[in-house]
Amino acid sequence: MSFSTMLSTMAAGMLRTCAIFFLTLLGSLPLGLGIMLLRRSKNRLVSSLTRVFIAVIRGTPLMLQLLVWYFGPYYLFGASIKGWRFPAILVAFIVNYAAYFAEIYRGGVESIGVGQYEAAEVLGYSRSQTFLKIILPQVIKRILPSITNEFITLVKDTSMAFTLAYQEVFSLAKQISASQTSFMPFVIAGVFYFIANYAVAFAMERCEKALSYYN
């Protein structure tokens, strides 16, 4: 296999990696916010169940969760899993990262002083208006560094999709390396991951500067 063929094949795998990355963020960011609200619910049952859910998701390996989501429908309900591979990957990633984002959101919300809520109440804001217009913008600014770390981790975690034989860039690197007895595919994969992470870090740094109160 020529270098150009190897590069184009792995570039196609990188597109699949990017698909996992962006679709995971699209689902996990809002889901994490919803989980955080349940975690902070005044209903003790809801709050307790949400804490257990977060503990289970954060306390078990993502690889195990991928296997559970993929094979679970078959073993539990006898359902066909044909065509379920990519949806199972997305569900596993979205649920996993939503649990982490929920705790990041919670830390950001709880870092806001009670005076912010009192001032909003004096101004006549409802609870939803207070959260959306006063609390959430401040939370976003405070949690951006932590969110950036999770984004970068997600780029690398997409390699876990090889567990379900999904042809993303890392899986292709392993296959090509084995068939060609060459280390070059891993070098190419490493460059792809580095470029992706650099782009993410650069974009998030720009976001932090845009939200800086001092600029």
Predicted confidence (pLDDT) at residue 215 exceeds the cutoff of 60: no
Contact between residue 196 and residue 155 where contact means Cβ atoms under 8 Å apart: yes
| Tens of pLDDT, residues 4-25 | 888 888 898 899 999 999 999 9
What total number of domains does the chain contain? 1
Of 70-79, 124-133, 193-202, the least confident: 124-133
Domain residues for the domain of 57 are 3-211
| Tens of pLDDT, residues 176-192 | 888 888 888 889 899 99
pTM attached to this predicted model:
0.88
Q: What percent of the chain has pLDDT over 70?
A: 98
End-to-end CA distance of the chain: 51
The domain spanning residue 180 has which CATH number?
1.10.3720.10
| Tens of pLDDT, residues 98-149 | 999 999 999 888 887 777 777 777 777 787 788 777 888 888 888 888 999 9
| Tens of pLDDT, residues 75-105 | 888 888 888 999 999 999 999 999 999 999 9
